[in-house]
């Protein structure tokens, strides 16, 4: 295979020579330094490398180039070497372009010209990019193959799990030629669907999500029995805490029962998160956060459900659904919230067969040419409407309230109003769902005039409110009437600390009614339900954990 390449693209000969010189000085013994004077020349080089089985570790492209700028080049180059790390060379006046590149093309970094001295402004960036590339390489991993039925809830659950965990897979219908061939090769019949076939050819019939996680290479067992900090829940708050906990030297474990990223990870586009003016998908944000937590040696435990919590002296112990226990000095609960079930005739029977909770982005292409209905009036529902409008013939947003203004961000309301195939209907509820094997129609009640109508519907996505998954806590922690965990000042009433509190201080701001157990993000009572605030609380929780540990 030879040495992996570092490719630089710049139409300014002096700049091109300078960066190639600096790169050869530092990396020439391990990497092949290739420079091109235009984007088209660089693409030709990449195609040739691809044909010859070469590897590309890093691509550096100047933003201002004739015919094709650096962003457009990197976007095309990703198709040839998707695992290569990407950086944009910009002048001070082009920082907006650099931010656009980070959002649109998922560029890893941008470098300002000039970068003198390279020891401070060039090499540290390249070292980090090369470390990241070496951790993943650029060898295409063979995909997992899934054979299933389009309108099968178990088949959907497997596909949704793989997609949300960013595991590459290929899906075949059991009635398609390739699907039938895979079933025959596995000596399996229709009763074996969903069938998961690994890259090595191992076939799993009707596997559990945990079995799929194991064959997909996701970690499902903790590396130790005791940690400094265990985080329950891998949404923005949990990921934020994992990054800060790991970066500050705490032995950190994140436990996630379904998919890292939580509800935010399902969002097609988050546009009000600081630093991303063009927006970023929930999957992209999740992947970057996961890479950061890995970088700082925070462990992630996938497909494990926590069912119990207790204090053992100075230790805090979690019980998993399989009976295993893991302990730590401190615990952060960042379990977020779940969408409430839609209580209407026929809905439960059709869940996973046309009725879905959350965005279920894997269903986007299948919605082509159909009528999609979305129930809910908050940001998540609006983002889903924008996403599915790219595929569906028509998207109808059914809102229980009088308007969107009280529950949805202004920018989303404005975007919805500009898309022709999106309709917003207020004071409407779904009271029934009908279908033979899959969803075919829904019944809508319009409270404005009291009328009911049954309409054709291929897909129904539900985003109605949120409730915390905290029943498993029992009486261990103080919760409010809706199940959200009370913390800090909310626990101190009339100057009295919570019952059983054994410290000569009030609970810290994010600390629960048991010392050393903290809560952050949507699961915490009176929290602000936004991605940025959840990440901030996750970071704050780590600082409070340090204060707690120092006082032990």
Give one DSSP letter per residue of 417-459, joined into a string.
HT-TTEEEEESEEEEEEE-SSS--EEEEEETTTTEEEEEE-SE
Average pLDDT of the residues of the chain = 90
pLDDT at residue 101, as a whole number: 57
Distances (CA, A) of 231 to 236, 239, 294, 392, 517: 12, 9, 14, 39, 10
Give tens-digit pLDDT for 206-231: 999 999 999 998 999 999 989 999 99
**Residue 58: Cβ within 10 Å count:** 25
- Collapsing DSSP to helix, strand or coil, 197 comes out as strand
Mean pLDDT of 437-442: 94
Task: State the Cα–Cα distance between residues 334 and 270, nearest whole angstrom.
Answer: 20
Assess contact for 28 and 79: CB atoms under 8 A. no
Kindly report the number of other CB atoms within 10 A of residue 326's CB atom: 21
Instruction: Quote the pLDDT of residue 106.
Output: 67
Residue 301, strand partner residues: 255
pLDDT of residue 346: 95
Please answer whether residues 422 and 395 qualify as being in contact, where contact means their C-beta atoms are separated by less than 8 angstroms: yes
Cα gap 143→151, rounded to integer Å: 23
Segment 441-449 shows an average pLDDT of 94
For range 171-197, the mean pLDDT: 89
Q: What is the pLDDT of residues 18-37, one digit of tens each?
A: 999 999 999 999 999 999 99
Alpha carbons 412 and 422: distance in angstroms, whole number: 12
Asked if the model's pLDDT at residue 359 lies above 60, the reply is yes
Q: Is the dihedral of CA 50, 52, 53, 59 positive or negative?
A: negative
Task: Say which residue, 476 or 2, is predicted with more confidence.
Answer: 476
At the topology level, CATH places domain 5-136 in Rossmann fold (3.40.50)
Backbone angles phi, psi at 503, to 5 degrees: -115, 150
Distance CA(143)–CA(159), nearest Å, equals 13
The mean pLDDT of 263-278, rounded to a whole number, is: 80
Domain 145-216: assigned CATH number: 3.40.30
List, in sequence order, every residue forming a beta bridge with 429; answer none if it has no partner.
Answer: 445
Q: Outline where 357-409 has alpha helix (H).
A: 379-388
pLDDT of residue 334: 97
Residue 270, helix vs strand vs coil:
strand
The SS3 call for residue 124 is helix
Q: Is there a common fold for 5-136 and 348-464?
A: no
Q: Can you list the alpha helix ranges (DSSP code H) found in 28-107?
A: 39-51, 70-80, 95-104
Q: Which 3 state secondary structure label does DSSP give 328?
A: strand
The answer, yes or no, to whether residue 128 has pLDDT greater than 60, is yes
Q: Residue 293 — very low, low, confident or very high, per pLDDT cuts 50/70/90?
A: very high
For residue range 306-327, list pLDDT tens digits in order: 999 999 999 999 999 999 999 9
CA distance 430 to 408: 20
Q: What is the pLDDT of residues 75-120, one digit of tens each?
A: 888 877 888 898 888 876 556 666 655 555 567 787 877 778 888 8
The Cα 89–Cα 223 span in angstroms is 40
Which of 125, 118, 126, 124 lies closest to 22, judged by CA? 118
d(CA 427, CA 400): 4
What does the pLDDT average to over 339-347?
A: 93
The reply to whether omega before 498 is within 30° of 0 (cis) is no
Task: Let me know if 280 is exposed, middle or buried by CB neighbors in 10 A (0-12, 13-18, 19+).
Answer: buried
474 CA to centre of own chain: 29
Helix (H, G, I), strand (E, B) or coil at 56: strand
- Distance CA(81)–CA(54), nearest Å, equals 10
pTM for the model stands at: 0.74
> What is the structure's pLDDT at 141?
47
| Dihedral angle sign, alpha carbons of residues 540, 313, 329, 226 | negative
Residues 6+ apart with CB under 8 A from 252: 227, 228, 229, 230, 231, 241, 242, 245, 246, 293, 296, 297, 298, 299
Q: Report whether pLDDT(507) > 70.
A: yes
Spatial separation of the C-alpha atoms in residues 12 and 358, rounded to whole Å: 49
**pLDDT, position 113:** 75
Strands 394-399 and 422-426: parallel
Measure the CA–CA gap between 213 and 258, rounded to whole angstroms.
10
The yes-or-no verdict on residue 63 having pLDDT over 60 is: yes
Share of the chain above pLDDT 70, in %: 96
SS3 468: strand
Helices and strands in the chain: count of H runs, count of E runs: 15, 26
- Domain assignments of the chain as residue spans, ordered by start: 5-136, 145-216, 226-338+467-551, 348-464
Q: 397: pLDDT confidence band, cut at 50, 70 and 90?
A: very high
pLDDT surpasses 50 at 279: yes
Q: Quote the pLDDT of residue 178.
A: 87
Residue 363: what pLDDT?
A: 84
Express as a percent the part of the chain with pLDDT over 90.
60
Quick one: average pLDDT of 235-246? 97
What is the bridge-based pairing of β-strands 428-434 and 441-446? Answer: antiparallel
Residue that the structure tokens 């009635």 belong to: 175
> Which residues are bridge partners to 519 per DSSP?
333
Cα 431 to chain centroid, rounded: 32
Q: What is the CATH number of domain 348-464?
A: 3.50.50.60
Can you name the CATH fold of 226-338+467-551? FAD/NAD(P)-binding domain (3.50.50)
């Amino acid at each position: 295979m030879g040495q992996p390449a570092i490719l630089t693209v710049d139409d300014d000969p002096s700049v091109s020579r300078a960066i190639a010189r600096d790169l050869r000085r530092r990396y020439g013994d391990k990497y092949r330094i290739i420079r091109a004077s235009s984007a088209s020349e660089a693409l030709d080089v990449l195609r040739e490398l691809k044909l010859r089985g070469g590897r590309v570790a890093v691509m550096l492209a100047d933003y201002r180039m004739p015919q094709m700028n650096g962003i457009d080049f990197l976007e095309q180059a990703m198709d040839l070497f998707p695992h290569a790390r990407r950086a944009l060379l910009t002048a001070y006046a082009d920082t907006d372009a650099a931010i656009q590149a980070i959002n649109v093309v998922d560029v890893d970094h941008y470098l300002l010209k000039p970068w003198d001295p390279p020891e401070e402004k060039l090499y540290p960036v390249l070292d980090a990019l090369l470390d990241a590339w070496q951790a993943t390489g650029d060898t295409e991993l063979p995909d997992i193959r899934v054979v299933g039925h389009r309108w099968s809830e178990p088949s959907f659950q497997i596909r949704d799990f793989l997609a949300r965990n960013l595991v590459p897979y290929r899906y075949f219908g059991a009635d398609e030629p390739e699907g039938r061939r895979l079933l025959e090769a596995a000596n399996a019949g229709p009763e074996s669907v969903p069938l998961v076939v690994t890259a090595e050819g191992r076939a799993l019939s009707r596997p559990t999500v945990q079995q799929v996680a194991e064959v997909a290479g996701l970690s499902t067992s903790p590396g130790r029995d005791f940690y400094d900090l265990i985080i329950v829940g891998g949404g923005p708050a949990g990921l934020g805490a994992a990054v800060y906990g790991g970066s500050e030297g705490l032995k950190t474990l994140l436990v996630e029962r379904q998919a890292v990223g939580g509800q935010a990870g399902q969002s097609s586009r988050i546009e009000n998160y600081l630093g991303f003016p063009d927006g970023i998908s929930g999957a992209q944000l999740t992947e970057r956060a996961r890479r950061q937590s890995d970088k700082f040696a925070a462990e992630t435990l996938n497909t494990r459900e926590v069912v119990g919590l207790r204090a053992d002296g100075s230790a805090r112990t979690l019980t998993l659904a399989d009976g295993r226990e893991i302990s730590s000095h401190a615990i952060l609960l960042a379990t977020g919230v779940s969408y409430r079930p839609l209580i209407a005739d026929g809905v439960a029977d059709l869940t996973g067969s046309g009725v879905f909770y959350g965005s279920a982005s894997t269903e986007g292409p299948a919605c082509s040419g159909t009528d999609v209905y979305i129930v809910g009036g908050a940001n998540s529902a609006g983002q889903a409407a924008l996403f599915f409008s790219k595929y569906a013939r028509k998207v109808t947003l059914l809102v229980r309230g009088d308007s969107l203004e009280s529950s949805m961000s202004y920018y989303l309301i404005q975007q919805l109003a500009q898309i022709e195939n999106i309709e917003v209907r207020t004071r409407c509820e779904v009271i029934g769902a009908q279908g033979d094997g899959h969803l075919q129609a829904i019944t809508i009640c319009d409270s404005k005039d009291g009328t009911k109508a049954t309409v054709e519907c291929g897909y129904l996505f539900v985003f109605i409110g949120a409730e915390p998954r905290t029943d498993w806590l029992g009486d261990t922690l103080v919760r409010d009437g809706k199940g959200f965990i009370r913390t800090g000042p909310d626990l101190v009433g009339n100057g009295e600390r919570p019952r059983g509190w054994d410290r000569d201080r009030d609970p810290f701001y994010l600390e629960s009614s048991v010392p050393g157990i903290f809560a952050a993000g949507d699961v915490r009572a009176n929290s602000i339900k936004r991605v940025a605030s959840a990440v901030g609380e996750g970071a704050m929780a780590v600082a409070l954990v340090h204060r707690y540990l120092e006082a032990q």
